Amino acid sequence: MTVETEKLYRSGAWVPSTGSGTIPVVDPSTEEVIGAVPEGTVDDVEEAVAAAREAFPEWAATTRPERAEYLRRLHDGLAKRAEEIAETISRDVGTPMRISSRIQAALPQTDVSTYVEILEGDEPEEKVGNSLVVREPVGVVAAITPWNYPLHQITAKIAPALAAGCTVVLKPSEVAPLVVRHLFEAIDEAGFPAGVINLVHGTGPVIGEALATHADVDMVSFTGSVRAGSRVAELAARTVKKVTLELGGKSANVLLDDADVAGAVKMGVANAFLNGGQTCTAWTRLVVPADRQDEVLELAKAAAEGFVPGDPLDPRTKLGPMVSAAQRERVRGYIRTGIEEGARLVTGGADAPEGRTTGFYVAPTVFGDVDPDSTIAQEEIFGPVLSVIPYRDDDEALAIANNSEYGLHGAVWSADQDRALAFARRVRTGQIDVNGGAYNAFAPFGGYKRSGVGREMGRPGLEEYQEIKSIQL
């Protein structure tokens, strides 16, 4: 299947770009071109921002129940297209269908329904002395999103922005953009007023930078690398606009000495290799008692070797390819560095997986005896690579967990829930799971340190798109 060149979406209609360039989209499992998107221009940005600015006053004046109804219709449109969405992402990103169906297609529906439920609740207003404190929409929002969860990362931004009464210009990743067509078909079907949400395809240096510097954009919400996020924040500062950043991670998965090692390792490897390891929250550092490292490595090796690289469209496949040739080479380079710096290669390696001569595949890889200061323990690899790091006591385990420029996610395991909770409170990270605690769409999501600024999801995610006003009575 090859899709036709996509269009932009502006003022409630599909429109061509003002430029003539296109960006090809490659299936990472076959290396074949399967579609293209317009290489948008600065003029496209100008027109999209103008449309969003014009639509803002009327959209901001809608009631919470009215906005909830639009979002409910968007949710239903996404649900109706779930199968197409899952297959498109599997072909575009390389995510196995078993993950695309369960997460890539399902989580965006949850993102939207969460804000329907929040809007149906009470609007928080607070009396402070003689002041009434109210919240109002921030204005025009530029949403700049990555390729690894190409629909969820969009809905996690546009759902709260629209719920708050903001209008939006979206710039999705040009690496995996094809699912955006399904999203905007659902948006169009939901009947959002013209200009409330607009789409501009293109590259970061052109479209992303034009949005970040635009005087009529009130806020930029960005998810991506630390390098690109720093650039967005720098550019946005020129017009003193609000910025939220969801950036990288190097999450520690800590097994305390009384943990159920077998269960924790099985879940830990699955988490680390989710979406091919191309997940910012992946538990890529497995921190274990030194006297149990060999046991852990045996379990991790067996679990990792169950992630046989395969065709993402095959329902049996657990590990697909990397999203691009560049990402494949980046990950293989980190594996070589790990070997060169003295880590013990337990399974996998930098060579192509057996039988995979076509496609951007990387072998599932586990390292043991990893130095906590080494490259593979400090830098975000974004591939199926797990670093096992031994520790001597709880204080050292905590020091290793916090020995990172990132602070996005993490995990801790113990037979004693209170002990695990006490440890979790001391880890400098935006979220952490205790004994495999389940994901909660109503809880705030974001990071400490270089993992970002601000929060997504839940009521805190909505508040990022609001200004606070004090009215003295």
Identity (one letter) of the amino acid at 426? Answer: R
Structure token digits, residue 112: 């939207």
203 strand-pairing partners? none
Tell me which of 6, 87, 174, 246 is the catalytic residue. Answer: 246
Percent helix, strand, coil in the chain, to 5, is: 40, 20, 40
Q: Write the secondary structure of 260-301 as one string of H (helix), E (strand) and C (coil).
A: CHHHHHHHHHHHHCHHHHCCCCCCCEEEEEHHHHHHHHHHHH
Distance CA 395, CA 423 (A): 10
Among 376, 420, 423, which Cα is nearest to 396's? 423
Distance CA 100, CA 107 (A): 10
The pLDDT of residue 62 = 97
How open is the CA angle 438-443-448, to the nearest 5 degrees? Answer: 100
The pLDDT of residue 5 = 62
Active site residue 280: yes
- CA dihedral (86, 152, 154, 72) positive or negative: positive
The pLDDT of residue 77 = 98
Active site residue 246: yes
Tokens 């916090």: give the residue: 402
* Host H or E run for residue 170: strand 167-171
Residue 450 DSSP label: T
Tell me which of 39, 280, 380, 456 is the catalytic residue. Answer: 280
**Tens place of pLDDT per residue across the chain (473 aa):** 454 567 999 999 999 999 999 999 999 999 999 999 999 999 999 999 999 999 999 999 999 999 999 999 999 999 999 999 999 999 999 999 999 999 999 999 999 999 999 999 988 789 999 999 999 999 999 999 999 999 999 999 999 999 999 999 999 999 999 999 999 999 999 999 999 999 999 999 999 999 999 999 999 999 999 999 999 999 999 999 999 999 999 999 999 999 999 999 999 999 999 999 999 999 999 999 999 999 999 999 999 999 999 999 999 999 999 999 999 999 999 999 999 999 999 999 999 999 999 999 999 999 999 999 999 999 999 999 999 999 999 999 999 999 999 999 999 999 999 999 999 999 999 999 999 999 999 999 999 999 999 999 999 999 999 999 999 99
The pLDDT of residue 124 = 75
| DSSP track, 338-392 | HHHTT-EEEE--SSPPTT--SSS----EEEES--TTSHHHHS---SSEEEEEEES
DSSP-derived 3-state class of residue 4: coil
Q: Which domains does the chain have, with CATH numbers?
A: 8-247+451-472 (3.40.605.10), 252-441 (3.40.309.10)
The pLDDT of residue 1 = 43
Backbone angles phi, psi at 140, to 5 degrees: -85, 125
